[in-house]
């Protein structure tokens, strides 16, 4: 990239380090022409295409505000929500695509939210998957119950063996 001071088309990297969350690299650069120093941050790009067609960078804060309402009155802390948003970002980055749509974000939220709080999960899923009737809730709850039983029998098998 061009030197921000003299527009020289080249620069030399004098230091590079990974940020604490491991998601980006910060490089100190020096211009060989004017000696000016500046920093660049390199991040794998992850952009969201909104329903309106507008493209914006992925934001963990928006994930948190998206699920906060579903978590109202539930034993879910801000720390839990921050961790959930981090997991959602990891799931999305693992897909390898640099552009995702809001639908994929909703889908990526479902599993970690279910592990966090099943009531919040049902609330979120009912909006996101546009539940239209009691049957939709019933089948989701039946699925949760089946998973519980599966886990319970796996646990008892583990103890009886």
Query: 28, 36, 62, 107: which one contacts Zn ion (CB under 5 A)?
Result: 36
CB 88 within 8 A of CB 81: no
Shortest distance in whole angstroms from residue 40 CB to Zn ion: 14
Shortest distance in whole angstroms from residue 39 CB to Zn ion: 14
| Tokens matching residue 121 | 């999960």
- x/- mask, Zn ion, residues 5-24, rule CB under 5 A, reads xx-x----------------
**The tokens 């089948």 sit on which residue?**
139
Shortest distance in whole angstroms from residue 63 CB to Zn ion: 39
Q: Does residue number 31 form part of the binding site for Zn ion (CB under 5 A)?
A: yes
Q: Which residues of 94-127 are buried (b: 16+ CB within 10 A; e: fewer)?
A: eeeeeebeeebbbbbbeebbbebbbebbbbbbee
- For every residue of 87-128, DSSP letters joined together read HHHHHHHHT--SEEEHHHHHHHHHHHHHHH-HHHHHHHHHHH
Query: 27, 33, 104, 126: which one contacts Zn ion (CB under 5 A)?
Result: 33
- What does the angle CA 143 – CA 144 – CA 149 come to, to the nearest 5 degrees? 95
Stretch that binds Zn ion, among 30-38, 72-80, 106-114, 130-138 (CB under 5 A): 30-38
Please identify, using beta-carbon distances, which residue of 39 and 153 lies nearer to Zn ion.
Answer: 39
Size of the site for Zn ion (CB under 5 A): 8
**Binding region for Zn ion (CB under 5 A):** 3, 5-6, 8, 31, 33-34, 36
């Amino acid at each position: 990239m061009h030197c921000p001071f003299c527009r020289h088309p080249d620069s030399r990297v004098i230091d590079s380090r990974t940020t604490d969350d491991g998601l980006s690299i910060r490089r100190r650069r020096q211009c060989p022409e004017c000696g000016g120093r500046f920093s660049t941050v390199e991040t794998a790009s992850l952009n969201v295409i909104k329903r309106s067609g507008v493209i914006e960078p992925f934001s963990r804060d928006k994930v948190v505000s998206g699920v906060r309402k579903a978590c109202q009155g539930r034993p879910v802390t801000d720390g839990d929500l921050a961790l959930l948003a981090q997991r959602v970002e990891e799931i999305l980055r693992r897909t390898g695509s640099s552009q995702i749509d809001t639908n994929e974000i909703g889908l990526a939220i479902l599993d970690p939210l279910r592990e966090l709080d099943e009531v919040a999960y049902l609330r979120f899923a009912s909006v996101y998957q546009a539940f239209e009737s009691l049957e939709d809730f019933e089948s989701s709850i039946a699925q949760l119950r089946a998973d519980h039983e599966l886990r319970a029998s796996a646990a008892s098998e583990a103890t009886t063996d």
